[in-house]
Each structure stands twice: as C-alpha cells, then as structure tokens.
Amino acid sequence: MTNEPKSSNQNKNQKRVIATLLILVAAVVIVLPNYVSKPWVADASQTDFSPPAPAVSPSAAAEKTKYRQDAQSLLAEIINVRDRLNGQSVKRWGELEFRLALQGIEVGDEQYNYGDYQKAIETYQVSLDQMKDLESAVLPQKLLEAKKISLTAIESAGGDSDSELAINMADLATAIAPYDKEAKMLADRAGNLTQLMTLLAKGRYNSEQNDLVSAKAAYEEAVALDTQHLGAAAALLATKQSITEQNFRDHMSDGFVALNKLDFQGAFIAFNKAGAIHPNHPSVQQALNQVTTEQSQQLVDQQMIQADTLAQQEQWHEALAIYQQLLLADNSLTEAKISMISVSVRSTLDRQITKLLDDPRSLAASPVFYRGTNLLADARGIINPGPRLRRQINQLDKALDASQIPVTIIIQSDNLTQITVYKVADLGAFQETSISLKPGLYVAAGQRFGYRDVRVEFEVSAQTPMESIVVICVEKL
C-alpha cells in the first residue's frame, strides 16, 4: 500500500519529461527553421544540414528575428551601393578599398550563417560604410582628379604620352560618371588630341618659316577641332596679329617699290592700304607726302631720256616699262607713244628669242621649230641690230640647226625586257641597241611579265655626250 503512491508519482514524472521532450522536438523541427536564413553569398559545397539548436525563448526569437531583418536590410542597401559602384568602374579607381569591403561582407556572411546576426550587422555596417565612403568621398575626388589630369594633358600636350594620358584620364572620368557633360566633353577633346597636336605643330613650323597664312589655316583647323583649347586659340590670335603687322609692312614696302618704279598710283594704293590697318600711323602720312612730292618733281623728259638710253642698250623690257608708266600717268605724251611702238616690237622679239634659247629642247617639236625659224627671219630683218640681237641671232641659228641633227643613243637591257621609247618606237627585247634621236627629252619604258615596269627619262643633247641608257625590269611582283 505504501508503494502505490510512489509508483504513481514516478509515472507522472515520466509523462512530464516525455511531454517536455516532445515540445522541444516540435520547437526544433517547426519553429527554429523560421529563424535561420541562407547566407548573402551561398557556397555550392555547403549542405542544408543545420545542427540542432537549443530551445529559445519567445523574446530571444523575436530579438533574433529583428537582427536578421536588420541584417537583410543592410544587405539590400549594400547590394544597391555595390551595384552603383560597379556601374562606375570602381575597380579602376578604388579596387583595394572595394575588395576589402567585399571581404568584410564575406565575413558577415559567415557570421550570419552561424546565426550571429548582431555581429553580422556590425560587420555589414563596416563594409557598407566603406562602400559609402568610396561613393561619397573617394569617387568625387577621383572624378575631379581624372578630369583635371585629362584637361592639363590636353592643354599642354607635347607628345604621344600626353595624348595617351589625356585619353586614359578622360575615359576614366566617363567610366566614373557616364552622364557627366564635362567628362564627355573631355573624352571628345582627348580623342581629337593627336590630330590637334599635328595641326599645332604644323602651325608652329609654318610660323617659323614665316608662312603666316599657312600657319593661320592650321591654327583655324585646330580651333575648329577643339574650340576649348586655350593654346590653339592663343596661337591663332597671335598669328592673326602677326599677319596684320606683316600686311602693314608689306603694303608699306609695296608702296616704296612702286614709288621707286615711278608707279605713283600703285604707291598711293599701297600706302593707303597700310593706313587702313593703322589709320594714324605717322609713317603712312609721311610716305603719302613723299609720293606727292616726287610725283610733282619728276619731269617727263628725264624719263624719256632714260627710256631712250635703255633702248640703245637693248634693254627693251626696261625701256618699255618706263614708257608704259609715262603713258599711264599722262596718255597725251605723243613722243612716248611713238617711241614705245618700236620698243614694244623689240621687247616682244627679245622675249620670244630668249624663251627659245632658254629651252632649246623645245625646238625638237615641229611647231616650235617653225616658230623659231620665223623669229630668226624677223630678227635678221632688223636694220642696225645691236650687239645683243646679233648674239641672239647667232645663238638661235645654231640652236635651230642642232635641234634637227640626230644623236645616236646606246640603250642596254637584259634581252628579257620589252622596251619602248615613247612617241618614237617599240624596240622590243635586246641586249644592246642604238637609236638616233633629235635633241630633247625622252622616256624609255620597260615591261616584263611578273616584274614591275620601269621608266627611264633621259635628255638628248648635241653638246653633251650621252652615256648608255640602261632599261631592265629587276623588281619582281
């Protein structure tokens, strides 16, 4: 009888223990999975096995739920910042800091996987702060630095390295801020920098050669290519100013040249053009006064005497120029008109004979030969020719004779090249041959299958012995 109560109590205790164990099992199976989440970056080698966890109180479960939600919120913000940084090419300007932040996130992931949400939050927050610092502080600084370096390289570019630096920095700026107008403008300018440098170098060279017109054209192209380039704009402005000063000096020089030639009208025009550039320049008014004074002082008979003297010396062109100037100033000078007729005829004859004597090779052409024969007849018809004309008659006569005397030319080849003397004959292939040609310029062309054609220009002259002409195709295609 005394053992029955004790047995009853034992049964009751066993039931309580079993019930408690069932409750714990239910908590492990049903409740605990709701408080465990997958990590931010899942590892494919990991399994879904979760070790049994002790029972948690409702308050602890709620706290963990809050920590887990906070961690997920941080992760969402981290992902947004991370994606923005990737979109701004963070690895090109903040790779080390960005990698450290990502490593911190991996540490947070491990803490998260072990359910230590509070530590994961702290770790995530550090990484997020690092990324935000990259985005808010480092990125603007890098952008500003890249734009500044690119701009400096553009404005002071002096070689390929500067051009490459400008392009790289502008590209970095556009990668950081794709919609930044200044960065896009720098990228466009940097892309044109090589061409711009070529134009600037061309402008400098032309300036050094005193070819200011060409220099101005080069600088204008440079400014049109890059309207923001300070150096190009300054060079163009300086060149324009130099051209203005050069034009002033040229007009003044032209005026004095015209005055020395007794071209009073030309002198007035030139000096007035100079005055249009610098209206109140004292030298302009002095020059104009000089023209007026000399024009009034010059006597027509002095110029007539000078022209007659030149004609006696057979300086026909100079004499003709004086008569033309006199008649330009006063067309009523009858004596000047009469004298100019004969001087003009002799000047024309002298110029035509001189032209033929300067290029005797042209006499090989029939029309030129006949024209030379007629000129020789006209020259011989002049009564009382002077020493110059007699010398020209003798030279022209010899040149006409020499132009019709063939000269034997030796042409050598390789017996494989087909040879043609343009406008003369197709000679074919040979080792060596001779051909008679009148004095003049000729072209021998060689052709051979599988080889590059050759051309040999040569001059035939009666006065100069000719060496053999060699025409051989030697360069294979």
Residues 345 and 229 grouped into a single domain: no
Last residue of a domain, one of 147, 162, 191: 191
**Residue 411 burial by CB count (10 A; 0-12/13-18/19+): exposed, middle or buried?**
buried
Q: How many residues does the chain have?
A: 477
**Does any domain span residue 433?**
yes
Q: How far apart are CA 171 and CA 189, in angstroms?
A: 11
**Does any domain span residue 174?**
yes
Domain that holds residue 128: 56-191
Residues 304 and 371 grouped into a single domain: yes
Residues 219 and 97 grouped into a single domain: no
**Does any domain span residue 330?**
yes
Nearest of 372, 338, 339 to residue 355 by alpha carbon:
372
Last residue of a domain, one of 245, 279, 297: 297
Residues 163 and 288 grouped into a single domain: no
Residues 101 and 185 grouped into a single domain: yes
Residues 67 and 180 grouped into a single domain: yes
**Does any domain span residue 49?**
no
The mean pLDDT values, 10 residues at a time, for the chain of 477 residues are 42 48 44 44 42 56 69 83 79 78 85 82 86 79 82 71 75 79 82 83 89 90 86 89 90 92 89 90 90 76 86 89 86 86 89 86 80 88 88 87 84 95 93 89 93 92 79 93
Q: H/E/C letters for each residue in the chain? A: CCHHHHHHHHHHHHHHHHHHHHHHHHHHHHHHHHHCCCCCCCCCCCCCCCCCCCCCCHHHHHHHHHHHHHHHHHHHHHHHHHHHHHHCCHHHHCHHHHHHHHHHHHHHHHHHHCCCHHHHHHHHHHHHHHHHHHHHHHHHHHHHHHHHHHHHHHHCCCCHHHHHHHHHHHHHHHHHCCCCHHHHHHHHHHHCHHHHHHHHHHHHHHHHCCCHHHHHHHHHHHHHHCCCCHHHHHHHHHHHHHHHHHHHHHHHHHHHHHHHCCCHHHHHHHHHHHHHHCCCCHHHHHHHHHHHHHHHHCCHHHHHHHHHHHHHCCCHHHHHHHHHHHHHHCCCCHHHHHHHHHHHHHHHHHHHHHHHHHCHHHHHCHHHHHHHHHHHHHHHCCCCCCHHHHHHHHHHHHHHHHHCCCEEEEEECCCCCEEEECCCEEEECCCEEEEEECCEEEEEEEECCCECCEEEEEEECCCCCCCCEECCCCCEC
**Would you state the pLDDT for residue 55?**
55
Pairing state between β 407-412 and 432-437: antiparallel
Q: Edge-to-edge strands of the sheet including 432-437?
A: 432-437, 407-412, 469-470
**Does any domain span residue 125?**
yes
Residues 291 and 312 grouped into a single domain: no
Tokens 């887990």 belong to 68
Overall domain count for the chain? 5
Residues 125 and 248 grouped into a single domain: no
**Would you state the pLDDT for residue 469?**
92
**Does any domain span residue 213?**
yes
Residues 129 and 170 grouped into a single domain: yes
Last residue of a domain, one of 274, 297, 320: 297
**Does any domain span residue 319?**
yes
Residues 274 and 329 grouped into a single domain: no
* CATH number, position 350: 1.25.40
**Does any domain span residue 332?**
yes
Residues 314 and 282 grouped into a single domain: no
CB 271 within 8 A of CB 255: yes
CB 50 within 8 A of CB 33: yes
Residues 454 and 335 grouped into a single domain: no
Q: How far apart are CA 140 and CA 393, in angstroms?
A: 89
The backbone region for 89, taken as left when phi is positive above 0, alpha when psi lies in -120 to 50, beta otherwise, is left
